[in-house]
Amino acid sequence: MRLWIMNPLAILADDAGGGLVVEGGRIVELVPAGREPLQTVDERFDASRHVIIPGLINTHHHFFQTLSRAHPKAYNSELFPWLVALYPIWGRLNRDMFRIGARLAMAELLLSGCTTAMDHNYMVFKGLEDATDIEVEEARALGLRATITRGSLSLSQKDGAVPPDHIVQDEETILADSERVLQTYHDTSDGAMTQIALAPCAPFNVSREVMRSSAELADRYDCRLHTHLAETEDEEAFCKATFGYRPIDWLEDCGWLQPRTWLAHGIHFTADDCSKLGHHGVGVCHCATSNAVLASGFCPTLELEAAGSPVGLGVDGSASNDGSNLMEEVRHALMVNRLGYRSADKVTHRDALRWATKGSARCLGRDDIGEIAPGKQADLALFTLDEMRFSGQHDPIAALVHCGATRADRVMVAGIWRVIDGAIPGLDVSALIAEHTAAARIFD
């Protein structure tokens, strides 16, 4: 089946004003304006009302946190008091809550134009040992491409850390299950729908032994590595007091200063840190909204890119962002970076879109997604501009970001429409919200 998505209002690709042709889950041709495809097509989709961009790629999230949005015990707090308030609450998670939290988070991402979802889940404990399996199942049910991380916590209150004792695991358990999910789900092939990454949580709640052993597993199974790093000044003070050096030195000591690694937040980096990260090809997921909500600071996106680091975007947890909308995150990234750099031209709407597509793909170690080009996976997000917020726009692609697009009209993943007319076929959103709301009440 050859599908011509024809004559879009605008498209984020060069010389493709006539649209693109999809076959077998891939983009096989870009059609110049005023032309028709070189080969006969089986089906046509009139995209004259649509702006087409590559499917957005999320590179940092905590799905379960959708259940603790705007929680009065934690809002108006910075990261460490926020964690102190929420860890005991999250410790009450059960399998059913975890599943519905993941389902809602992924549905929200998909409706925002996200085609590749990533989750950093470290809530794996007694009664929730199959957390990774649950997330893989839910991603497959929605038809989302996914990088699911097997996260971990190994230090708890008995070790002087924040997490309650019952939600952490010992090193042997963590590594055994990490290897299990890698063997079961990790697909390194071109066009893979499911990949696994290893993601010990942060310097202040995992041991160096877990970090080093995870790096060894990643090398053996050809997977990515992910962790939080340099998010707050408190984290830097902790590393100096505990290890005698800064967070980036901890990363290097653990064997993580390598191209397999991408980091969440990456705020408190010096110029030398940026150079070192770029030299080693370490990626950074910029979480603009979360960084602002928690008042954590400003990620040096331009310095990191200039040094050679891939920069992607992530919504972060839906308790520090209070949303799982990646298109909204693109706009926030533009605004936060213009404010941070005090410049209106150093970061443009196309930079923010690039971070959410090609940049995020590089963070995940993928060259088969993230752009509209022949041979790439047919992951697409199509938006209409028929709301009042877009009326009077003069550049449709710029309007998506500047005027605040939040919901895609159509989303295609691997050549299959997964969102049609702004809805996910087969998903009862009202029932999902009702079930999710009821589950969240347990956290009251």
Q: What is the pLDDT of residue 275?
A: 98
CB-CB contact of 285 with 363 (8 Å): yes
- Region of residue 116 (left: phi > 0; alpha: psi -120 to 50; beta: else): beta
Please report the pLDDT score of residue 93 as a whole number: 97
Alpha carbon 166 to chain centroid distance? 28
Q: What's the average model confidence in pLDDT over 272-288? A: 98
Domain check: are 168 and 300 in the same one? yes
Q: What's the confidence (pLDDT) of residue 162?
A: 95
Q: Which two tokens stand for residue 188?
A: 């390194």
Mean pLDDT, rounded, for 304-311: 98
Query: What's the pLDDT score for residue 374?
Result: 98
Q: How confident is the model at residue 272 (pLDDT cuts 50, 70, 90)?
A: very high
Q: What's the number of CA atoms in the CB half-sphere (13 Å) around residue 398?
A: 7
Q: Which residues contact 128 (CB under 8 A, 6 or more apart)?
A: 93, 94, 95, 98
Distances (CA, A) of 347 to 141, 339, 351, 411: 37, 10, 6, 26
411 and 350 in one domain?
no
Tell me how far apart the alpha carbons of residues 308 and 320 are, in angstroms, rounded to a whole number. 28
The answer to the question of residue 413 being in a domain is yes
Q: Does residue 430 lie within any of the structural domains?
A: no
**What residue type is assigned to position 155 of the chain?**
L
CATH number of the domain at 266, please.
Answer: 3.20.20.140
Q: For residue 18, give the CATH number of its domain.
A: 2.30.40.10
pLDDT of res. 313: 98
Give the CA diameter of the chain: 68
Residue 249 lies in a domain: yes
Residue 435 covered by a domain: no
Q: Do residues 153 and 280 both lie within one domain?
A: yes
pLDDT average, residue stretch 93-106: 98
| pTM value surpassing 0.75 | yes
Chosen domain end from 363, 385, 407: 363
**How many domains would you assign to the chain?**
2
What's residue 345's pLDDT?
95
Tokens at 144, concatenated: 């989302």
The answer to the question of residue 444 being in a domain is no
Over residues 66-70, the mean pLDDT reads 98
Q: 96 is in which domain, residue-wise? A: 56-363
Query: Any idea what DSSP says for residue 281?
Result: T
- Identify whether residues 91 and 43 lie together within a single domain: no
Q: Is residue 38 part of a domain?
A: yes
**71 plus 122 within the same structural domain:** yes
The verdict on residue 217 lying in a domain is: yes
Residue 120: half-sphere exposure toward Cβ, Cα within 13 Å: 25
Q: Are residues 403 and 318 in the same domain?
A: no
Tens digit of pLDDT for each residue in 403-435?
999 999 999 999 999 999 999 999 999 999 999
- Using a pLDDT cut of 70, give the percent of the chain over it: 100
- Clarify whether residues 389 and 273 are in a common domain: no
427 falls within a domain = no
151/236 same-domain check: yes
Residue-wise pLDDT tens digits, 201-260: 999 999 999 999 999 999 999 999 999 999 999 999 999 999 999 999 999 999 999 999
| 369-407 pLDDT tens trace | 999 999 999 999 999 999 999 999 999 999 999 999 999
Looking at every residue in the chain, the average pLDDT score rounds to: 97
Q: What stretches of 55-123 adopt beta strand conformation (E)?
A: 56-57, 114-121
Angle 289-77-297 from CA coordinates, rounded to 5° = 45
For the chain, how are helix, strand and coil distributed in percent, rounded to 5?
A: 40, 20, 40
Strand order through the sheet with 380-384? 10-11, 50-54, 380-384, 410-413, 416-419
Do residue 162 and residue 298 come from a single domain? yes
Q: Tell me the C-alpha distance between 148 and 120, whole Å.
A: 7
135/274 same-domain check? yes
Backbone angles phi, psi at 296, to 5 degrees: -80, -30
Q: Tell me: do 48 and 101 sit in the same domain.
A: no
**Residue 92 and residue 7 in one domain:** no
Instruction: With cut-offs at 50, 70 and 90, classify the pLDDT of residue 287.
Output: very high
